[in-house]
Amino acid sequence: MPEGLEGYAALSSHDPSAGSDDQEKCSDQLGFSSLEVLAYRFVIIASAITVLSGICNVAILWVYNARGSTPHLLHDLPRPNPYIGLERATLNPLSPEPQHIMNFPILAAQVNSEEVDKVYFDVPSLKTPYGTVYPRKSNFTVSSEVSMILQFRVMDFGMEHCTLMGAIPSAADLERSAKSVPVVSSETAKIEVWFLDDNDVQLNADTLSYSKRPRRKALAGVWGATPDQRVQISDTFECSSRSLLTFEFVCTEPECYMHFTQDEDEPIMAAFISQASSIKKTDQGR
């Protein structure tokens, strides 16, 4: 060692600040790795939850379908009363009588006594630029084998006097309206109309057949189906609001036959329910 340098020592080549920087970098890398692990775990857990949720949804749908639930079961649900409190209202004796309601069937379907399991239901449809339209018309056909099932729902409040009616327009009225002429075996053809015991359940036309129709309960009347006449088929009877009325139209003779297209347009050619007021008027001056 040169003279005059005995009191000096060689400096270390190691930089302390560099060591601290390395430690900080290492800790940063460890922290970043921890965040990656947490994110990875979160993705795995979220994916597992999504898969389990999908499996549960598929299982629920499978159980629902396995039970045979179909849209027509909605008809069995109770209908809420939209006329709450109206039974306490009074009607002035001087008030005019409400006009009769012409109530057309919510269901019209044929059944065959010789093909007891055959379903004849056919919904008429019309293709338009706006989609498929379902007109409120149906084929009314009765013969020695085929009978007609009509079901009505009683409408409105206080219109609970019902009469089953039948109407066949005259040839002149039909010609002016461009409606098809009804086909009747003879002017003396008689069609029996029976009340059916529907238990106030709306029928499903997709499955309705002769073997599955409700049983006959009582004879409602006989329809002569005379042209140019609107006739009363049944006597007037009480019918609860929102209840169902189901009838079967049956030929009484071997050669009996009737066919026409039933709709709600004038001139009326249909079997329908006429509803009249059942509200008792009260003298408010008493």
174, 269, 169, 171: which is closest to 229 by C-alpha?
Answer: 169
In this prediction, residue 286 carries a pLDDT of 45
pTM of the model: 0.69
Residue tagged 């009347």 (tokens): 221
pLDDT in tens, 275-284: 999 988 765 5
Report how many helices (DSSP H) and strands (DSSP E) the chain contains, helices first.
2, 15
Residues 234, 164 contacting (CB under 8 angstroms): yes
Percent of the chain with pLDDT over 90: 34
* Predicted confidence (pLDDT) at residue 257 exceeds the cutoff of 60: yes
DSSP code of residue 181: P
- Residue 72 CA: distances (Å) to CA of 137, 202, 214: 21, 9, 17
* Predicted confidence (pLDDT) at residue 50 exceeds the cutoff of 60: yes
Residue tagged 């898969």 (tokens): 51
pLDDT in tens, 197-243: 988 888 988 899 999 999 999 999 999 877 777 899 999 999 999 99
Residue 180 φ then ψ, to 5°: -70, 145
Residue 271 φ then ψ, to 5°: -105, 130
Residue 169: partners with Cβ closer than 8 Å, 6 or more residues away? 177, 179, 227, 228, 267, 268, 269
* Predicted confidence (pLDDT) at residue 270 exceeds the cutoff of 90: yes
Q: Cα separation of 85 and 231, whole Å?
A: 36
pLDDT in tens, 151-175: 999 998 899 999 999 999 888 888 8
pLDDT in tens, 82-115: 888 887 877 777 888 889 999 999 999 999 999 9
Average pLDDT in the chain: 81
In this prediction, residue 136 carries a pLDDT of 75
* Predicted confidence (pLDDT) at residue 178 exceeds the cutoff of 90: no
Q: For residue 22, name the pLDDT band (cuts at 50, 70, 90).
A: low
